[in-house]
Copies of this chain bind each other. A is one copy, B any other.
Amino acid sequence: MCRSIATVSVSGTLAEKLAAISDAGFTGVEIFENDLLYFEGSPSDVRRMAADLGLAIVLYQPFRDFEGVSPERLARNLERVKRKFDVMHELGTERLLVCSSVSPDTIDDDALAIEQLGQFAQAAAQAGVVTCYEALAWGRHVRTYRHAWQLVNAVNHPNLTLALDSFHTLSLDDTPDAIATIPGERIGFVQIADAPKMNMDVLEWSRHYRCFPGQGDFALANFTAQVVKSGYTGPLSLEIFNDGFRGAPPAATAADGHRSLLLLEELTREALGSADQAAPLYHPSAPPAHAGWQFLEFAVDDAARQRVADWLEKLHFRRAGQHRSKDVTLYRHGSAAIVLNAEPDSFADAFFQRHGLSLCASALRVDDARLALERAAGFGYQPFSGRVGPNERVVPAVQAPDGSLNYFVNEQPGQPTLFEADFVLTDVDGPTEVGPIIGIDHVSLSLPAGSFDAWVLFLKAVFGLQASAAVLLPDPYGLVRSRALFSADRGLRMVLNASVDPHTATAETVRAYHGTGLNHVAFSTADIFRAVTEFEAAGVPLLRVPANYYDDLDARHALPAEFLDALRQHNLLYDRDEQGGEFLHAYTETLDQRFFLELVERRGGYDGYGAPNAAVRLAAQARQRSRPAGQDGIANNK
């Protein structure tokens, strides 16, 4: 299966675009006319460049406003397309995309369109090219692939085929199911684009907000499955108009595009079920059925280690072990484990030098670590191996988009655990008292805006996570885009945050720490009132919540007075879902102006992250940043 992408999908000059597309692993490319227009060389120069890079030029596009015109206009249009055929010969491409007419004076007469498209097909036959007719979602009269197929089928000429584009079908909430009934050899070209659901003019939506498969909200696996069922065997080609991609480095964009096609093929294969039809589709090993946090690893120096350790100890974490060969310490509380890495000249050290105190690695418990690594590498993510001491475990790892590591850990029955293998464990029997923390509920990352969608793709491709819809959170100094990803069994939950504006806490953190990454860790507890009481007694400073918040909470949810008082007393935030599930959570103040911890208690199947409370938290953090606590002259709630 030829994997292709349109030049309009990545930034740069045409030469830069083609190089990035080739490097990413694509074997085909669509030449978008404007890119040729701006190119200081002939179409045959482009042909040579593409050939040198191993790229087939699978399509030239677009040709507009051909059908439904007066006889005079038809003659001009045929003249116009002949010049394009000449360009195509020079480019060495066979296929031309023609879009359904958008001109206001297009005549609404299918018979006329069929007659004129017939002449178009004959001209194409004379020139030895194949034309592909596409229904634009905002076409004047032809807007659906069914209508376009009626015309193409009626013309019944091998040089006029149907072109499909997932955006044009799915943006109209049209069903793609009839695609399977179209003979595959009559489909000349298939373009794939995803997009977030948006309530806006479809042309604007298409021109600015398309994204790679898996980054938006469209059901693309089903769309592509219908294409495969039709018998189509031509290129699958990404055509992505995206304002962000226009401003991003082309190599990273193209690499993500290629990954997104691989992931789409895998999901299409699942949607198809039948192995016969799915044969040419990418087929990696399945993502881990169960994944969870084994440990989080922070890059520290001696001073940062002291500060974090102090904080962890107040949260009743215990120092549980020392690495056998490295300056690495293990802390545990419940199933939550934190590793502090101060090993000189290591990966963590390099991370610390660049990013300061930061999350340099996450270790994920998976069913099969080797398969998980193989899968990640198959999607083009970079495997990583560090130094390993005698008898220590070799742990497979892959680099995340920010360069941090994701370790894959699976424990074998009867074998030493990773902690046993690599650490001299102290306090082996665990504390006699069980602390209030159960484990890690979720990890929240602060990202540069440009890497947000790359992370979505990484987490979907490597771990098979699902994504919630993105939400916008109001920080006092701008908006923050936020999206949660989670595994089917909720063993792994991550929240990605990126600032829309340059002055939010998220943006400042990202800038100050050179683009990475941890915003906060949320620990789960079964009794948050006990947890906050114990932690406050131990000197953990909790973020103060304004009294007005509780007045409003009462107006919204009509909570029992005693319960509301208890929330207020402990600076706890509260949310409730439509099924009555409840979320109680509290935040610590920030450490190193950078990250903070959250305690969460989920009740009755609550599955969110307390998004309605995010603005309250962001405003409280902004106050904390802008002045030391206690200097505002306003008393605490208590």
Interface residue ranges, A against B (CB under 8 Å): 11-13, 16, 33-34, 36-43, 45, 80, 83, 87, 198-201, 203-204, 243-244, 246-249, 474, 476-479, 499-504, 544, 546-549, 551-552, 555, 615-616, 619-620, 622-623, 626, 632, 634
Of B36, B38, B45, B248, the contact of A615 (CB 8 Å cutoff): B38
Tell whether, in the assembled complex, residue B83 and residue A555 are in contact, meaning their CB atoms are under 8 Å apart: yes
Chain B residues in 8 Å Cβ range of A616: 37-38
CA distance A243 to B503 in the complex (A): 12
CA distance A41 to B11 in the complex (A): 49
Tell whether, in the assembled complex, residue B478 and residue A11 are in contact, meaning their CB atoms are under 8 Å apart: yes
CA distance A45 to B547 in the complex (A): 12
CA distance A11 to B634 in the complex (A): 22
User: Assuming A476-B38, A634-B41, is B201 touching A199 (CB within 8 A)?
Assistant: yes
Tell whether, in the assembled complex, residue B13 and residue A247 are in contact, meaning their CB atoms are under 8 Å apart: no
CA distance A555 to B37 in the complex (A): 12
Tell whether, in the assembled complex, residue B634 and residue A246 are in contact, meaning their CB atoms are under 8 Å apart: no
Chain B residues in 8 Å Cβ range of A615: 34, 38
User: Assuming A200-B204, A246-B477, A478-B246, is B41 touching A503 (CB within 8 A)?
Assistant: no
How many of these chains are in the complex? 2
Chain B residues in 8 Å Cβ range of A503: 11, 247-249
Q: Closest CB-CB distance, A480 to chain B, in whole Å? A: 10
CA distance A41 to B634 in the complex (A): 6
Of B40, B204, B548, the contact of A634 (CB 8 Å cutoff): B40
Chain B residues in 8 Å Cβ range of A544: 40
Q: Closest CB-CB distance, A596 to chain B, in whole Å? A: 17
Chain B residues in 8 Å Cβ range of A83: 551, 555
Chain B residues in 8 Å Cβ range of A243: 478-479, 500-501
Look across to chain B and name the residue whose beta carbon is closest to the beta carbon of A500: B243
Chain B residues in 8 Å Cβ range of A200: 199-201, 204
Tell whether, in the assembled complex, residue B632 and residue A41 are in contact, meaning their CB atoms are under 8 Å apart: yes
Chain B residues in 8 Å Cβ range of A87: 551
Look across to chain B and name the residue whose beta carbon is closest to the beta carbon of A249: B503
Q: Closest CB-CB distance, A413 to chain B, in whole Å? A: 52
Tell whether, in the assembled complex, residue B476 and residue A13 are in contact, meaning their CB atoms are under 8 Å apart: yes
Tell whether, in the assembled complex, residue B474 and residue A246 are in contact, meaning their CB atoms are under 8 Å apart: yes
Look across to chain B and name the residue whose beta carbon is closest to the beta carbon of A244: B501
CA distance A203 to B198 in the complex (A): 12
Chain B residues in 8 Å Cβ range of A548: 36-39, 42-43
Look across to chain B and name the residue whose beta carbon is closest to the beta carbon of A79: B555
CA distance A546 to B45 in the complex (A): 13
Chain B residues in 8 Å Cβ range of A42: 547-548
CA distance A632 to B244 in the complex (A): 28
CA distance A477 to B253 in the complex (A): 12
Look across to chain B and name the residue whose beta carbon is closest to the beta carbon of A622: B13
